[in-house]
Amino acid sequence: MNEFLFFLQILLIVGFAWGALKLGPSALTAWVAIQALVANLFVLKQITLFGLDVTASDAFVIGSLLGLNLLQEHFGKEQAQKSSWICFYFMAFFTVVAQLHLLYQPNVHDTAQQAFHVLLSPSPRLLIASMSVFFIVQQVDVRFFAFLKICLPKGSFALRTGLALVVSQLLDTVLFSFAGLYGIVGSIFDIILVSYAIKLIVIFCSAPLVRMVKA
């Protein structure tokens, strides 16, 4: 069941990215920010996929970077850079208001405080690591994608996007694993290997759909 939902998730992400592209740069910018927020929220849920223990958020990370690559391909590098900063701005806003929300004292009728506490109060280390690494990876992806456009002028959008994602997701996996999980998990290298393997599966499975989005 998880595997079916995994492929459905990829289909929905790429499909909505195509819809955002058709709506223009403002919609794509909003798409990038929403994907980033969803990824950082959904990372708390752990699932078993292809026999491996992973989080449920890797596809959304790639979806956000796909949005940046579409922005750069259709509207230029400056627009992609601006969108990356906008994304970071709203991630910071969400982090602050989430903690503020938890400070409200629930009344006797409330039944949601415990759930909000689980979702919105990860350790400061994980929160800072997640936001910082995601922003760094976005910046690297924008610059590397621009570099690929110069080096592979005749290469397809799907090829350039795939190469950019392979590199950026390796960086994302290594940086977040050490910044957020080192000293907490038993084997940091097992975490890196499994997480990166899942991200490669997402990239590979989304490649045909990315070609259709560009078309």
* Residue 215 pLDDT greater than 60, yes or no: no
Per the model's pLDDT, the better-predicted residue between 173 and 43 turns out to be: 173
Q: Of 68, 24, 49, which Cα lies nearest the Cα of 165?
A: 68
| CATH number of the domain where residue 123 is located | 1.10.1760
**Three-class SS state of 187:** coil
Cα gap 103→93, rounded to integer Å: 16
Q: Which H or E element spans position 181?
A: none
3-state secondary structure string, 31-55?
Answer: HHHHHHHHHHHHCCCEEEECCEEEE
| Range with top average pLDDT, 71-85, 113-127, 169-183 | 71-85
Instruction: Find the domain containing 27 and state its range.
Output: 2-103+111-214
DSSP letter, residue 105? P
Residue 113 pLDDT = 92
Write out the E strands in 18-149. 46-49, 52-55
Q: How many CB atoms within 10 Å of residue 137?
A: 24
Q: What is the pLDDT of residues 67-102, one digit of tens each?
A: 888 898 889 889 988 998 998 898 888 888 888 998
- 107 three-state secondary structure: coil
Alpha carbon distance 67, 25 (integer Å):
10
Instruction: Give, rounded to a whole angstrom, the gap between the first and last alpha carbons of the chain.
Output: 31
186 falls in which pLDDT band (50, 70, 90)?
low
pTM of the model: 0.81
pLDDT digits (tens, 9 = 90+) for 131-171: 788 889 888 988 999 899 888 888 888 888 889 989 998 99
Number of domains in the chain: 1
